[in-house]
Amino acid sequence: MSQVQSVERTLSILELLAEYPEGLRISEITAQMNLAKSTIHRLLQTLVSRGYVHQNSENGHYQLGTQCLVLASSLLNHMDIRTLAKDALQALAKRSEEVVHLCIHDKNEVVYIDKVESNQTLRMYSQIGRRAYMHCTGVGKAILSDFSEAEIDELVEEKGLPVFTNNTITTKEALKQELRTIKQQGYAIDEEEHENGIRCIAAPVFDHEGKVVAAISIAGPVERVTKNRVNGELASEILKQSKYISNKLGHIKQ
């Protein structure tokens, strides 16, 4: 067996075990990989000795070991979401021809941490580092859709629900109903709730634990970002790109 074959088979064992958290017997691994038991046993022993595979002493099953977690944690700790999201933001801006934002949650507000500008003459004003309320912005509501009832109550208690336009949500009950809708459809809409004449669609970004860690949005004048566009092509595109970024963060939707 060549070194390349050995590496490929070793990785195949790890990928197979990742699909079975409860573990597999060596006979089951051998059957699924269609290799000799002696070959599988040799590879497993190497993986066990290095901590990448653990053999359960009670049932003999082989499972992923803690060294896999060490590598995964190292990767996740060094991920920069702005770098990971850059190509997705650029793709959204090119497709929509509107300004695109990446935002995170901090101290019950949203913070704009990256943007790709529109090439249109008429643009909306936004700035990296700017903070905004969560209840009246697309990105804010997309992130809030992952909040618990208690966390929403705490947010309203701390920040209130300030009015910016005639469309701003002003009651906790209305906000909670809006968030249920967002969770169901997968995206949020700012229907001129923060700024008159500006419509926005946003989608949450999930990490490897399934938690919302950011949101991306497309925003522009209501004359261009129409309701039909928002609920059609823009919804489809932003869901595609939010999934792409989430997958880069290790999120796999069940």
Answer for the pair 253, 243: CB distance below 8 angstroms, yes or no: yes
Q: Which residue has the higher pLDDT, 129 or 47?
A: 47
Per residue in 16-35, pLDDT (tens digit) is: 998 888 899 999 999 999 88
pLDDT confidence band for 77 (50 / 70 / 90): low
Q: Tell me, what amino acid is at 181? A: T
CB atoms within 10 A of CB 69: 11
pLDDT at 70: 78
Q: Mind spelling out the 3-state secondary structure of 47-110?
A: HHHHCCEEECCCCCCEEECHHHHHHHHHHHHCCCHHHHHHHHHHHHHHHHCCEEEEEEEECCEE
Query: Cβ contacts of residue 183 below 8 Å, gap of 6+?
Result: 145, 146
pLDDT at 79: 58
Alpha-carbon span 67 to 53, nearest angstrom: 8
Which of helix, strand or coil describes residue 254?
coil
Beta bridge partners of 200: 190, 219
pTM over 0.75: no
- Distances from the Cα of 38 to the Cα of 29, 63, 153, 168, 184, angstroms: 12, 18, 60, 67, 50
Place of tokens 């650029």: 90
Beta bridge partners of 186: none
Per residue in 187-228, pLDDT (tens digit) is: 999 999 999 999 999 999 998 889 999 999 999 999 999 999
Per residue in 90-116, pLDDT (tens digit) is: 999 999 999 999 999 988 999 898 888
pLDDT at 41: 92
